[in-house]
Each structure stands twice: as C-alpha cells, then as structure tokens.
Structure 1
Amino acid sequence: MGVGDVSKRILLGRKLRSSQLGESLLRKRVALPIFAGDALSSVAYAPDEIFIMLSLAGASAYAWSWKVGLAVAVVMLVVVTSYRQTVYAYPGGGGDYEVASANLGRNAGVTVASALLVDYVLTVAVSISAGAHYASSALAFLDGHEVLFASLMVVLLAALNLRGVRESAAWFALPTYLFIVAVLGMCGYGLLRWSRGDLPQVESASFEITAAPGFEGPLTTVALLLLLARAFSSGCAALTGVEAVSNGVPAFRRPKSRNAASTLLLLGLISVSMMMSVIVLARQMGLKYVDPLELQRLTMPDGTPVTGYDQHSVIAQLAQGVFSDFPPGFYFVVTVTALILVFAANTAFNGFPVLGSILAEDGYMPKALGARGDRLAYSNGIVFLAAVSIALVVAFDARTTQLIQLYIVGVFVSFTLGQLGMVRHWTRELSVTRVAADRVRMHRSRVIAAVGLVLTGAVLVVVLVTKFLPGAWIAVLAMACFFVLMRGIRRHYDRVESELAADEQDRVLPTRVHAIVLVSRLHKPTLRALAYAKATRPNVLEAVYVDVDAAATEQLLKDWDERRLDVPLKVLHSPYREVARPIVEYAQEIRRANPRGVVAVYIPEYVVGRWWEQLLHNQSALRLKGRLLFSPGIMVTSVPFQLPSSQSRRARATESRVKAGDLRRGRVEEQERTDGQVGGMHW
C-alpha cells in the first residue's frame, strides 16, 4: 500500500465489500435529512423570491405574499401526496424516470431524466450559492469571496459523499434538524412577541420601494395576474427536492416503500409550516426586499435613495429583529441556515449518482456511472456532478437570483410527466383489477395523480411563460442537449450490442496464423518473445526489424547469423526513419493476402520499477499497438521482460507492507505499487 493509497483510505475510509451494501441502508430519521434537505432548505430562499417578484409593484403588493405562499403550499401537499403513491407503485427507485418510461414510452422517460439531471446540477449550484451569501451575512471576511467559498463547499460535499451514504448522513443529520428547530423556534418566538405587542421591525422596514418600470401606478387585472404568476413560479422553488425521495427508495431500510412514504409526509408538513411562518412573520415585521441587483429601488420615506446598504436575506433580517434582545439567537439561526443551504446540495449528491446508475444500466449513460466505488457509492457520478456544479457557480458568480431563473423548470417537467404516467398506471391497473377494495384505492390514487397533473402542468406553463426569457431558456437548452446525448449513447450501445452478437461464423477457425516478432536488438527480451511465439505453434513465424540506421542493421544481421537462430529475419527499409508505419503496412499486406488468416504481432517490452525509468524509454511500442489495434485480423501480444528494478520494487513492497497500527504510530513509509510499469522498447 503506497502513500497515495494510505491517503485515500484516510480521506474515504476503508474499502467495503459488496456484501456490506445492506449495512449502508438508511433509517427514516437519517433518511429525512439526507433526501429532504433540499426541499427543507428551500424555505431559506423561496420566500425571498416571492418578495422580490412582488416588490416589482412596490411594497403594497406584499399584501398578496401569504396568498401566493398558500398556493405554493397547496401544490406541494398535492405533489407529496401523489409521490407517496409513486413510492408504493415503483419501489425500485428511478422515480419519475421509471414512471414515465413504463407508462409513456422511452422518449418521455429520457425527457424526464434530462430534466432531473439538469435540476440536480442546479440544486447544487443554487443551494451552495445561497449558503455562501448567508455565510457572508454573518462572517464579514467572506464578503466578496462567495464564489471561492461555494466552490470549496462543493468539493467538501463531494468528498463526504465519496465516503458513502451512511457515513455522510452523520454529517448532514444534525444541521438539518438544527435548521428545523431554528426556523420554527424563531417563527414561534416572533409570533409570541407579536401577540404580546413587542415585535420589533426588521432593518429594512423604514425603507420604501419604488415600483419597477412598467408597474407604476395602479395595476390592471392582467398586470396583477402576471405579477402574481411570476411570484408564484419563483415561490415554487420550494418544491424542488421532493422527487429525490422517490428516486432513492432503494436506500431505505425495509419496509422501503412505507419508510419512504413516511419521510415524504414529514417533508411536506415541515416545509409548509416553515415557509408559511416565515412569510407571515416577514409581513408583520415590515420587510422590504428587492432584487440584490436593483437596490437603487429602495428609498427613504422622503424619496432619498438608500446608499451603502447591504441587504441581508429574509431569514437573516427576521432573526436579527426577533432576537433583538438575544444576539446569540440571531447567529444561531444564520449559521444553521448557511449550513443547511450548503448541505442541502447533498440531496442532489444522493439523487444524481443513483439516477445516473439507473440510466447507465438502461444504456443511456456511460457504463462507468453505474460502477460503485470503494465505499459502495457511485463515485463517478459524484465527481461529475461536483465538476459541473462548480462550473455553474463560477459562471454565474454565485448569484442565487440569476441561478434561480434556470431553476425549477426541470423539476416541473419531471413532475408533470410523472403525474401523467401515474394516471396511465392506475388506469391500466383498474382495467385488470376486479377486487372492489383495490379498485376503490386505485380510483383514489388516480384522482390524486390527476389533480397533481393539473396543478404541476399549470405551474410548468406559468414557469415557462414567466421565466423563459429571464434565463429558463438555458435550462431548456441544457435539457435538450442531455436528451440528444442520451439518445445518442443508447444508439451507440444498441449498435455495439448488435455488432458483438455471436453467430455461427465466429466458430470458424482461421486458416493460418502468421506470427511476427518485432526486433529492436538481439537481446533477452527479443529471445524471450521468439521463444513464446514458437510455443504458440503458428503456421509461419518470422522476425521483423525496421531499418532506420544502416550500421545498426548490419550489426543485427551479423549477430543473428552468429547465433544461428532458426527464425528468418525480415528487414523493412524506412527511408524516412519511421518505425510504426512500415510495420503496420507490412502486417496489413499479409492480412490482405490471406483474408481468412490471422496476423499475430509479438512485441517485447521492458517492465521497469521506477517512474523515472519509464521516462527514459520511448513509447514506440505503445504507439505501435495503438495503430495495430485498428487493423482487422491483426492480434497484438505484449511479451514482458522484468528488469531487476521491477523485482527489487516487488521485494520492497513486500518488506514494507503496512501492518496494523503502523499508520497510528507514524511508521508508514512511501512505497510504490507492486505491479510494474510497462515501458516501450528502444526502437
């Protein structure tokens, strides 16, 4: 075990056997923070977006805030109820992707998968960016460094998830529960102070809001409906993450479906309670909140523009006001909110790799996404998600308001097609079910799915209409790219599968084998390759040398004759000092002369023990193999020859094997991997 392996074990933990997969399954109390963190954390920014949209018409429009919040809550409860039916009907994971694929066809399933993949990436970018801004509200030294902080948090989350779901759960459970306690406690204490009549105003209560261009004066009915629609669509960010539970049903302990359904119910009730409490409390404390890029719309009562104002988030302002007589309460709320926003991205780190593995199994994603790592986590999916999320954070400068415009389009595409698929599912089940009690249950489930379809479809239309030009078109374009990419990957896998299908012709033996041993010099590796080639008993055996130096060629011919080798040596002249091209052309010429035969090329290679020795030998053999692999009917065989350095390396590895307690006592020394490095021949 080398230093690199030891470092990996320290970072990720010891390897887990495949048989230990059951040990990583989650209890409900742990699954709630793992899968519901995204939906719960949206309480920290969904109210902000509602107030930002309503502020376009001035502070008077805030009178609609609780009604918009109530509409969002109704949609959430309907969606949660419908997903509770989904986890029972499709307990194998995959969520809306599996539902759409089974009931609406392959294209619908790929569309849902595209939407979910985009949504998971945006979940990480939005949550981490929002968390960075909350952190900068409490920690002044982070102000202006939100992008760097957000990027480091993505890397940290990826590292934690690479350790496995169960171990990462311990890191996320406490912040999630502390966030629930902090927000509900803050709202409860605030409403108590309101009932006593000593509830203070927030820091922005003394400001006025100038209406945005186009919203001056009394609003017409159409303008008001458009404004409310925009606020509603932004507030629906609170629904993101609900689908993660249905995608992750296999990660629950038995009974999986019942535990997942219970987690969904808790998620819905807690999210609605927190969101409505924040909105009501903000109205009572006189909150004024605008787009951070339009702070010039905030004015003093006399119309004087507000200058030098650092606008804090809604929850930060509420906490500062509610705990005006207890400053530690403010820091507690802001700190746990920043933590939950950062850790909320963990929902995507659990959902994206699982969905990627399902898509890989179905042939829509590279097979590598379906492979589990040392800790039984889908490591490749985790790393890919982290890389793309960091790119988004940097591209949008960690600005939540800009990223939110790309958000929720994908999740509502998934919601809508998923609900339509469930309507089709229950309709099909009713056609074959005759038991009265079961039919009643299925009718009820179909009604729930139909209501969910109407509501989520309406929200999707509103989101597309109100957010398409501000930035949602980027998400739609990304979904289209994923769709085309996945369909292309599936076509490739289907084509390769058909090309690899065995038939009777594959049982026909080649008529002859023409063996070629490549020679650079007459030394031990060459003699070993000649001996091995003889042992395979080919029909024809010859050695081949490329003449790039007349003196070296003459010396080789002389040595060959002196040893009286019984293998003929053929010299290929290369006037331009090329090595690979003459050999490839010669092998192809033999193949064309006998299309039913096989050309076997044997390449002697050195095995060295040190990395710098690899650099001292050129890579002609590797380049030659790369060229020959694309030639049909030509088989390439490497004949390794271990130099003494490779043997001493193996001895060093055996002597310095890490023993129990060595790492703790600091006795682990640097050692290289035991397998040798293959170097190319000196042609």
Structure 2
Amino acid sequence: MGLAFTLVSVGDVSKRILLGRKLRSSQLGETLLPKRIALPVFASDALSSVAYAPDEIFIMLSIAGASAYAFSWKIGIAVALVMTAVVASYRQTVHAYPSGGGDYEVATKNLGVNAGVTVGSALLVDYVLTVAVSISSGSQYAASALPFLSGHEATFGAIMVLVLMAMNLRGIRESGTFFAVPTYLFMVAILGMCGYGLLRLLNGSLPDVESADLRLDAAPGFEGPLTTFALLFLLARAFSSGCAALTGVEAISNGVPAFRKPKSKNAATTLFLLGLIAITMMMSVIVLAKQMGLKYVDPLELDRLTNADGSPLPAGYDQHTVIAQIARGVFDNFTPGFYLVVTVTGIILVLAANTAFNGFPVLGSILAEDGYAPRSLGSRGDRLAYSNGIVFLAVMAIALILAFDAETTRLIQLYIVGVFVSFNLSQLGMIRHWTRHLKTTTDPADRRRMVRSRLINAVGLSFTGVVLVIVLITKFTHGAWITILAMIIFYIIMKGIHSHYDRVALELAADEQDKVMPTRVHAIVLTSKLHKPTLRALAFAKATRPNVLEAVYVDIDAAATNRLLDEWDERRLDVPLKVLHSPYREVVRPIVEYAMEIRRANPRGVVAVYIPEYVVGRWWEQLLHNQTALRLKGRLLFAPGVMVISVPYQLRSSQIARERELRGDERVKAGDLRRGRVMRSSSSKGQIQR
C-alpha cells in the first residue's frame, strides 16, 4: 500500500501568468476606482443598451407598419423620463447606503428579509442575463463583420465570456483600465455620429439610410387600422422593449465600495453622468433613425420587407443594425467614421458584460456574509477580486448563451423583468427609510432634504411600478415567465442555504458535554512497509501517549506480508503489528471496518488513525504514487469517533517546491521600490535590499 500526497499547486505558474502576482490584503486601497475609470466600468452596460434598445423599439413598432414609427420619439421620451427618475432615485440610495448592498440592502433593512432575498434573486438573474444578452449581441455584430463566425456565434460568445472572466480575475482596477479606452471611444463615436447627423439634419443635407427605399408591410393581423386598445398594447410592447436601456443603472449602487473616497459622492456623480450620456445617445439615435427613413423588422420576419415595387428582397439579404445603417448614411462621405462606429459598438457590447462582472461578485459576497449564498462567494482571490463569484457568473452566462444559441431576440424577452422587480422594491424601501428617519429628525434643513428625497423615490416607484406591470403583461408569454421561474428557484435555494447555515450553527454551538474527555484512545498506525515514514509515524503516535498503540497492515499478498513480519521481528519493535486479511485485495474497507469495530467496542473512546504520507515537489510525481491515503481519509471522515492524523514525510524533491516558493516570495517585483516594499542599499551601488 503506497500512501502519498503532493504539496504542489498544479498550474501555479500558469495562474500567475494569467492573473498576475498576488496582492496583499493591505493593498485593497490600490484597487479602488477614480470616477474616470468607474464610469466605463459600471456604466458600460447601460450605455451599450443604445446599441439594441432603439432596435427593439423599431422592431415592435414595425408590427403595425412604417406609419407606427411616428411614435418612436415619444416612446424614447417615455423611456428617458423613466431613466431620469431611476437615476435620481439611485442617487439617494448611494448616499443613504454606501456599503454596496444596493437594492438588496435597502429592501432587507426596510421591507424585511423576504423582500431582500427577492431582490437578491432578481439581481442575480439579471446579472446573468446582462452578460448573456450583451455577449450574444456582440457576437452577432462580430459575425456580420467576420463571415467565418456565422453559425458559430454561441461558441464565440462563450470564448468572450471566458476572456472577460480572466480579465476580471486579475482585479477590478486592471480590468477597469483595460475597458476604459473602448468605452470612451464608444461614447465619442456615437455622440460624434449623432452630433454630425443632427447638424446635417439642420442644414438639410442628411441622407436616407439604406433601408429607406424599402416597403414595410404590417404583420399579419395588423394590416388595417388599429383599434385604440390594440394601438395602446403595441406601444406598451415597444415601450417595455425600450426599457432595456435602464438595465445596468443599479450596478453603481451595488458597487459603491469600489469607488475612491468620498465614495457616495463619486458614485452619485457617476450616476448623473451615466444618465445624461445614455439619454442623449438613445434619443439622438431614435430621432436620426426616424428622420433618415429607417425600416427595421425582426430578423426572423425579413419577408415583411420588400422593394419599393413590391418585389421580394434578394435571398440572403443582410439587415444591418440601426446604428450601422445610421452610421453608413451619416458618414457617406467619410468611410473611416462608419467603421469606427460599427467596430466600437461591437466591442462595447462584449465589454458591457463587465458591469455584471463587477456587480455580481459584490452582491454575492454580501449574500454570503448574510448566509444566503455559499461562504466561498465572500472570499477574495489572489488579486483581491471575488474570484468565485466571477467564475460562477461566467459559467451561468455561458450555459445561457449556448442554450439560446446566442440569439439576442430570444434572450431580450427574458430581460429587464428582474431588474424592475429590484427597482420597485428598492424605491419602496427608500420611501420607508425616509419616513422612519423623519419621525426622529428635528432639524428643519435635514427634514427638507429627507422630504425631497422621499418625493424623488416616490416618483421613481410610480414610474418603475408602471413599467413592471407593462413588462409582465407584454412579455410574460414571450419568455418573461422563464425569468420569473429562475427568480423563484434562486429564492428557494437562497432560503435553503440560510436554513442550512442556521441548522449547522445550532448544531455546532458549544455546551458542557464538549468538555468531556474520551475514556480511551486507541491509536493505530497504518503500515505499508517498514521504512522511514512508518517509523516516524510510530514515533509520533508514541509521543501522544495513547492507551493502546498498534500498527496495522492489510494483507493482500502473502509473500509481502511474511517479509514484513520477519523485518518487524528483526528490528524488535515494541509496537504490536496487526495484520488484516483481505481476500478480495481491498485496502480501504478492512481498515475502516477495523476502526469501526474498535469504536463499537468502546463507544466513549476514540480511535486515532495515523497515516504516513509522502510529500513530493514535482507535479508529475503525484501521478507515480498511489492515492490510497486520500481515499482512506474520505471514508474515515464519515466514521464517528475516528480521528485521522496525517504524518508527512518530505522526500528530497519537496525541497524543490520549497526553494521555488521562497524564490518567488523574495524576488523583487516591478513597482516594489516605488511602493516602499524594498529599499536601496547604502553600501553597494545598485543593490536592492528588503
């Protein structure tokens, strides 16, 4: 029986290459974000919605034909009003709750635990959908630009999620710096395109988009004049789809701890900038699309688009996105401008998922701290990021992308339900927060501020409440029920986790019986052969002074057993050797059964099992040693009254790992001198000392 164990982290070198060197806990302040980096980190999701929210508005309105596009700018204004109310409401939230709990903390403290768990489940689902929708939309853009990706969008999307996961595992500061450039390029490109387009509109030189000459037929059943109810329902569907522009706004309230001080003020400023930029971009795109004669339908219903003479479009007609059509028209005399807009839009759709990669891990850590999620989600990794939460989000998003084949049109129907559930409960919680504080506040200035804040949250609640009702009515049968079901499942799981932790805490609570000493300790030392690891384990077991000490050997080969017995007698060891016969050549089962037999004979005593283990230094050496020790531990851990003690024996190769670790710790790294972790030697020129 070879008992071996390896004290080597397989893949440690590759991990350092991918993630970078470890950061001390004291370096957490170095990972905090200034506003110029926080804006692209937390706002990329909401800003990127400009790339698909207008598309969804025009798709919904196209059901009634091109004449319904007259309502596009009105729907855009309605969405902008809701976004204004939501941004103003969340500015109150980040000041009142700067700890980063966001909607979850607000709902829990003001509406109760069940409301908080509901918000937590809604946000978890929304973050997963944010990644899935953004990456899927970006994959569609990539497939349009690179024909060889056509048909492989889901695979490409999964790869992009893995890339984002790796970037975020390196730490929020590094990922934020990496994503800042394309996000700012996207802002400049879209605002520049819209500004130039509106300028051309004013001087009368704005051209039409490529689809302006096409004829748009109404969907079956909508050919004639619409009744008032049908028109209102159509506008409600378009409005609910356009509200996808609001997703991502809540991420800032969940990520306040990642801001530099003053955290609340910087977060509120970032929220204001986010709202201003997003509304400007969205309204500009909608106005330009309408003025340039856009015709846009669901990609699955391209047969509703025909040439002006009624003839069908050529086979394989590629309907370009709204922004792509506007950019081609606005920059008809400047091709690089068109390519810049399309390229950065595709990039930002992929990087928009980074908002969720920053919000989800923070929320997961808070839920873990409160006992509603596995404790592992609250652990920071080598780079001070919540690594387990990042990996979990990536796995869930990849599963969703593959399940829906990266089709944005199908995924968008699942979107925004969860986020508006959290919006509503958060605003209701903030109203109760201000009401409670008004009862105890006497200062007139503070009371005026609280009344104003409560009014803002009340307006936000009324707006988001109406949107939630509209979304549920118009999207329920189109996929929103899946989101609701997922929220219910997460809710049940979270409550189950909390109940489990409560039961375990109650079970582990110390009482007077825990002071009772065992009446007897029966120690057994597992023996595979008579060598140094066995002798060391015997010596250690003797030092613990058990009531009974014996060595145990499993007989699976008669010749080997006889040799061991002869060696045992020759060395005159004062520890008896017990041989367990195993006719079926099993090693683990006889030892477990023997330990349990001893335990049954003396229920108030304990059985101490000493296992000699090898410690090796090279990863491939682990493959050359039997893993019986690990399997045996796994079985004995479930045996009541049985203690398992590992007695390591370091082989020479283990020194290699030790020296490598020491070299890694002592090596001077880039930036150590600047940060004061090393100092220059005064006695030797150019020498660095710790």
Please classify the TM superposition score into its range, dividing by the shorter chain length: over 0.9
Tell me the residue number matched to 1:584: 592
More moved, 598-607 vs 455-464: 598-607
In 2, Cα distance between equivalents of 1:24 and 1:614: 37
Identity rate of aligned residues, in percent? Answer: 77
Tell me the residue number matched to 1:37: 44
Are 1:135 and 1:334, in contact at CA under 8 Å, matched by a contact in 2? Answer: no
In 2, Cα distance between equivalents of 1:601 and 1:47: 68
Whichever residue aligns with residue 541 of structure 1, its letter is L
Tell me the residue number matched to 2:523: 515
In 2, Cα distance between equivalents of 1:612 and 1:87: 52
Q: 1:417 aligns with which of 410, 416, 425?
A: 425
1:81 and 2:84 equivalent? no
Q: CA deviation at 1:481?
A: 1.5
Tell me the residue number matched to 2:65: 58
Are 1:78 and 1:448, in contact at CA under 8 Å, matched by a contact in 2? Answer: yes
Q: CA deviation at 1:232?
A: 0.5
Q: CA deviation at 1:143?
A: 4.0
User: Unpaired segments of 5 or more residues in structure 1?
Assistant: 663-683
Distance 1:359 1:653, change over 3 A: closer
Q: CA deviation at 1:381?
A: 1.3
Distance 1:92 1:578, change over 3 A: same
Q: 2:581 aligns with which of 553, 573, 595?
A: 573
Q: 1:293 aligns with which of 274, 281, 300?
A: 300
Distance 1:251 1:610, change over 3 A: closer
Whichever residue aligns with residue 272 of structure 1, its letter is I
Tell me the residue number matched to 1:317: 325
Whichever residue aligns with residue 104 of structure 1, its letter is L
1:199 and 2:213 equivalent? no
Tell me the residue number matched to 2:346: 338
Tell me the residue number matched to 1:70: 77
Are 2:10 and 2:619, in contact at CA under 8 Å, matched by a contact in 1? Answer: no
Distance 1:570 1:661, change over 3 A: closer
Distance 1:660 1:465, change over 3 A: same
Distance 1:401 1:368, change over 3 A: same
Are 1:138 and 1:331, in contact at CA under 8 Å, matched by a contact in 2? Answer: no
In 2, Cα distance between equivalents of 1:207 and 1:372: 55
Tell me the residue number matched to 1:353: 361
User: Unpaired segments of 5 or more residues in structure 2?
Assistant: 1-7, 671-690
1:461 and 2:469 equivalent? yes
1:228 and 2:235 equivalent? yes
Are 1:365 and 1:489, in contact at CA under 8 Å, matched by a contact in 2? Answer: yes
Tell me the residue number matched to 1:111: 118
1:13 and 2:1 equivalent? no
Tell me the residue number matched to 2:170: 163
In 2, Cα distance between equivalents of 1:360 and 1:188: 46
Secondary structure in 2 matching 1:603 = strand
Tell me the residue number matched to 2:450: 442
Q: CA deviation at 1:647?
A: 4.7
In 2, Cα distance between equivalents of 1:560 and 1:119: 67
Tell me the residue number matched to 1:635: 643
Are 1:207 and 1:301, in contact at CA under 8 Å, matched by a contact in 2? Answer: yes
1:252 and 2:268 equivalent? no
Q: CA deviation at 1:161?
A: 1.4
CA offsets 1:247-276 (integer angstroms, 9 cap, x no match)? 011111111111111111111111111111
Tell me the residue number matched to 2:33: 26
5 Å-filtered alignment, 1:556-571, equals 556-571=564-579
Q: CA deviation at 1:139?
A: 4.2
Whichever residue aligns with residue 246 of structure 2, its letter is L
Q: CA deviation at 1:572?
A: 2.5
5 Å-filtered alignment, 1:647-666, equals 647=655
In 1, Cα distance between equivalents of 2:546 and 2:445: 74
CA offsets 1:174-223 (integer angstroms, 9 cap, x no match)? 22222122112211211221222221110111111221122221101111
Tell me the residue number matched to 2:544: 536
CA offsets 1:519-575 (integer angstroms, 9 cap, x no match)? 223333222221111111111112222233334333333333333222222222333
In 2, Cα distance between equivalents of 1:260 and 1:156: 27
Secondary structure in 2 matching 1:511 = coil
In 1, Cα distance between equivalents of 2:617 and 2:451: 70
More moved, 628-637 vs 152-161: 152-161
Tell me: higher relative CO, structure 1 or 2? Use CA pairs within 8 A at least 6 residues apart: 2
In 1, Cα distance between equivalents of 2:502 and 2:669: 51
Distance 1:551 1:360, change over 3 A: same
Q: CA deviation at 1:645?
A: 4.1
In 2, Cα distance between equivalents of 1:645 and 1:66: 72
Tell me the residue number matched to 1:218: 225
Q: TM-score, normalised by structure 2?
A: 0.92
Distance 1:260 1:438, change over 3 A: same
In 2, Cα distance between equivalents of 1:160 and 1:652: 26
Secondary structure in 2 matching 1:558 = helix
Distance 1:273 1:645, change over 3 A: closer
1:283 and 2:290 equivalent? yes
1:451 and 2:466 equivalent? no
Tell me the residue number matched to 1:147: 154
In 2, Cα distance between equivalents of 1:236 and 1:607: 59
Are 1:513 and 1:597, in contact at CA under 8 Å, matched by a contact in 2? Answer: yes
In 1, Cα distance between equivalents of 2:664 and 2:474: 65
In 2, Cα distance between equivalents of 1:478 and 1:551: 61
Q: 1:548 aligns with which of 553, 556, 560?
A: 556
Whichever residue aligns with residue 245 of structure 1, its letter is I
5 Å-filtered alignment, 1:267-278, equals 267-278=274-285
Q: CA deviation at 1:303?
A: 2.2
Distance 1:551 1:137, change over 3 A: closer
Whichever residue aligns with residue 463 of structure 1, its letter is V
In 2, Cα distance between equivalents of 1:380 and 1:95: 20
Q: 1:604 aligns with which of 606, 612, 628?
A: 612
C-alpha RMSD of the superposition: 2.1
Are 1:138 and 1:334, in contact at CA under 8 Å, matched by a contact in 2? Answer: no
Whichever residue aligns with residue 478 of structure 2, its letter is P
Q: CA deviation at 1:6?
A: 4.2
Secondary structure in 2 matching 1:405 = helix
Secondary structure in 2 matching 1:311 = coil
Distance 1:250 1:552, change over 3 A: same
CA offsets 1:81-115 (integer angstroms, 9 cap, x no match)? 01010011101011100001111111111111111
Q: Give the count of matched residue pairs.
A: 662
In 2, Cα distance between equivalents of 1:143 and 1:91: 45
Q: CA deviation at 1:140?
A: 4.4
Whichever residue aligns with residue 273 of structure 2, its letter is L
Secondary structure in 2 matching 1:604 = strand
Distance 1:408 1:552, change over 3 A: same
Are 2:55 and 2:321, in contact at CA under 8 Å, matched by a contact in 1? Answer: yes
Tell me the residue number matched to 2:193: 186
Distance 1:328 1:656, change over 3 A: closer
CA offsets 1:586-627 (integer angstroms, 9 cap, x no match)? 211222222221111112223334444433332222221111
Distance 1:433 1:382, change over 3 A: same
Secondary structure in 2 matching 1:520 = coil
Q: CA deviation at 1:393?
A: 1.8
Distance 1:553 1:263, change over 3 A: same
Are 2:125 and 2:418, in contact at CA under 8 Å, matched by a contact in 1? Answer: yes
Distance 1:89 1:535, change over 3 A: same
Are 1:605 and 1:640, in contact at CA under 8 Å, matched by a contact in 2? Answer: yes
Distance 1:299 1:365, change over 3 A: same
